Amino acid sequence: MYEWIIQNGLIADGSGMPAFRADIAGKDGKIVKIAPHIEGDAERVFNVEGLVVSPGFVDNHSHGDMTFLANTSAFNYLEQGITCEIAGQCGGSPAPYYPGSFADALTITENGFDEAEMAKVCDTFTSFCRYVDTMQLGTNMAFLAGQGNVRARVMGHTDAEPTPAQLEQMKAIMAEAMENGCVGMSTGLIYPPSIYAKKAELIELAKVVAQYGGVYTSHIRGEGDTLYEAVAEAIEIGETAGCPVHISHFKVSGKHNQGKSVQALRMVDEANARGVRVTGDQYPYTAGCSGLISSMPPLYMTEGPAAFVEKLASRAFRDEVTAVLKVRMKGENFLLDCGFDGCLLLGAKRDQSIIGKTLADVAAERVQPEFP
């Protein structure tokens, strides 16, 4: 007797072969038979006529580590067919913890952890992975070590270059992360503090990753005006360090940059042809998602985001930031690339009435100019 039988499904098994119609039977947590028609009793029978049956999907760019400590079931992923997540993306990971880190900002209050508990759990990847091993998670999870966390743990939010001693500290933390099962390193090179790392610093950390067979995954330094330079940098880091390169949400941003994908993809093809393994991922819609603070000039983030927000209470400081934002900077400027009418607000802590509106909508409601 089988525990379950799935009947009349169109099976896409992930091997690359054409989909085929068949039944599937399972017992003791395993698939025990696949055949055109399965006879026999089963505790549960599912007739999935008209549906596709496939292995679980791998979400290779997940930020589920922002919520999984509270939402261990990961039902929001499972109901989409996702059974494995690659987290720790864009330079941010739960460990190593530092005040003002993403673990601090996103998991303390929302997920019911107090600061002391969060600091203890996420102190190192050793402590973090030990904690995760005690959890019953709905999905499998693999983690990248966030370079932004590693840098800030050693240097704080400064934009300075590391001393030789500080660089050795970062390399030791990266080695500890890899030894505890991380599959590679991620960078978020438009986000402080990751953005402050120069190429030579990233190469040294990527060399550590290469020693453990890991991958260098990057939210590259520019996806619009500086796309070509950013793609070249990512490829050079992996090629010099000796590890594969994966470009996160590989795209061209800004309408005025349309057409750049042809040359960017050619650069990837050329790198692969000479033996550098370069891959990328993309989401199935023409939009991006980030925090609004990522639109702010990095030069104001050297004391951390909390200090920046405090300074916004000063009208003089707001005027200074606005003047900088109006100029097309080297790097990313979502406000100029997308316009206020192209920035949709998806979440807010205090004034939730703005959710679902664009920045242009909010400015109009408050009778304020988009750029005062």
Pick the more confident residue, 102 or 115.
115
pLDDT at residue 109, rounded to an integer = 46
312-362 residue pLDDT tens: 999 999 999 988 888 766 667 778 878 899 999 998 878 889 999 999 999
Q: Which of residues 136 and 249 earns the better pLDDT score? A: 249
Cα separation, 133 vs 53, whole angstroms: 30
* CB of 249 closer than 8 Å to CB of 219: yes
pLDDT of residue 315: 92
Q: What is the pLDDT of residues 215-260, one digit of tens each?
A: 999 999 999 999 999 999 999 999 999 999 999 999 998 888 999 9
Where residue 211 falls among pLDDT bands split at 50, 70, 90?
A: very high
Mean pLDDT within 186-213: 97
Give the residue-averaged pLDDT of 207-211.
99
pLDDT score at 334 = 79
Angle, CA 280 vertex, CA 103 and CA 138 arms, to 5°: 45
pLDDT at 139: 95
pLDDT at position 40 is: 86
Over residues 124-144, the mean pLDDT reads 92
With bands split at pLDDT 50, 70 and 90, how would you rate the model's confidence at 296? confident
Three-state secondary structure of the chain: CEEEEEEEEEECCCCCCCCEEEEEEEECCEEEEEECCCCCCEEEEEECCCCEECCCEEECCCCHHHCCCCCCCCHHHHCCCEEEEEECCCCCCCCCCCCCCHHHHHHCCCCCCCHHHHHHHCCCHHHHHHHHCCCCCCCEEEEEEEHHHHHHHHHCCCCCCCCHHHHHHHHHHHHHHHHCCCCEEEEECCCCCHHHCCHHHHHHHHHHHHHCCCEEEEECCCCCCCHHHHHHHHHHHHHHHCCCEEECCCCCCCHHHCCCHHHHHHHHHHHHHCCCCEEECCCCCCCCCCCHHHHCCHHHCCCCHHHHHHHCCCHHHHHHHHHHHCCCCCCCCHHHHHCHHHCECCCCCCCHHHCCCEHHHHHHHCCCCCCC
| pLDDT tens by residue, 19-75 | 999 999 999 999 999 999 998 899 999 999 999 999 999 999 998 887 777 788 999
Average pLDDT over residues 123-137: 91
Q: What is the pLDDT of residue 333?
A: 76
Which position has the higher pLDDT, 279 or 97? 279
**For residues 328 and 267, which has the higher predicted lDDT (pLDDT)?**
267
Confidence class of residue 102 from pLDDT cuts 50, 70 and 90? low
pLDDT in tens, 142-174: 999 999 999 999 999 999 999 999 999 999 999
Q: Which domains does the chain have, with CATH numbers?
A: 2-53 (2.30.40.10), 57-280 (3.20.20.140), 292-365 (no CATH)
pLDDT at 18 over 80: yes
Q: Which of 102-111, 125-134, 236-245 has the lowest mean pLDDT?
A: 102-111
More confident residue, 122 or 89: 89
